[in-house]
Chain A
């Protein structure tokens, strides 16, 4: 079964540094998402992306965050100047073209800010 893959599985970064989290969505999917899960808490929406532009973003997704689809297969989340509170699991998801198709999640990248 096709799956969403994320790299790296664990990223340790010094506060203030830039970090890029990478995702390869399912190949025929056109909608892409990033979510965040702080340890022990619920999964929170960050941003959705379609047709090479952001379609929706949450209040968490401030100017420090950006997303990009640099080629036909990768989808990235960049945090420009990391803060301690950015430490969390970051999940990428993708869904097919029709409305309300399920979003399929990767296994996440654990981001630890020191």
Chain B
């Protein structure tokens, strides 16, 4: 089955700096990669996603890149703000609307004001 590795496990940045979280996946059949933000006491909230036919996607301060050959994908947050502090999970799933999502191990991001 699919295995998703995520690094780093914790990340502290100064407000205004950029944060990068990196993930690798094992199953070449995976073709959809969502990123979730989880705040304390809440469920995972989708913040951005990317499909395997696209190499990069951007939404305001958040961008994701995908390298299918290397099976790597990354989340980039620019101009970080204290409200970006949360746990971020990368995930992967293969085709089919009912397929399970395999989550990475999570990155706890702390943005220091």
Contacts and interface: CB of A to CB of B under 8 A. Distances in A.
Interface residues of A, number: 29
A107 B98 contact: no
A106 interface: yes
A100 B51 contact: yes
A33 B42 CA distance: 17
A44 B103 contact: yes
Contact of B46 (A35, A41, A104): A104
Nearest to A106: B43
B103 A96 contact: no
B89 A107 contact: no
A45 B101 contact: yes
B34 A102 contact: yes
A102 B98 contact: no
Interface in B24-42: 31-32, 34, 36, 41-42
Report the 6 A-B pairs with minimum CB-CB distance, sorted nearest first.
A105-B43, A45-B100, A100-B32, A99-B97, A55-B98, A43-B103
Interface of B: 31-32, 34, 36, 41-46, 49, 51, 89, 93, 95-106
Interface of A: 4, 31, 33, 35, 41-45, 48, 50, 55-56, 58, 91, 95-108
14 contacts: A4-B43, A33-B101, A42-B104, A43-B103, A48-B100, A55-B98, A91-B43, A100-B95, A100-B97, A102-B34, A103-B34, A104-B46, A107-B41, A108-B42
Given A42-B105, A91-B44, A107-B41, 8 more contacts: A44-B103, A45-B102, A56-B98, A56-B100, A97-B97, A99-B95, A103-B34, A105-B36
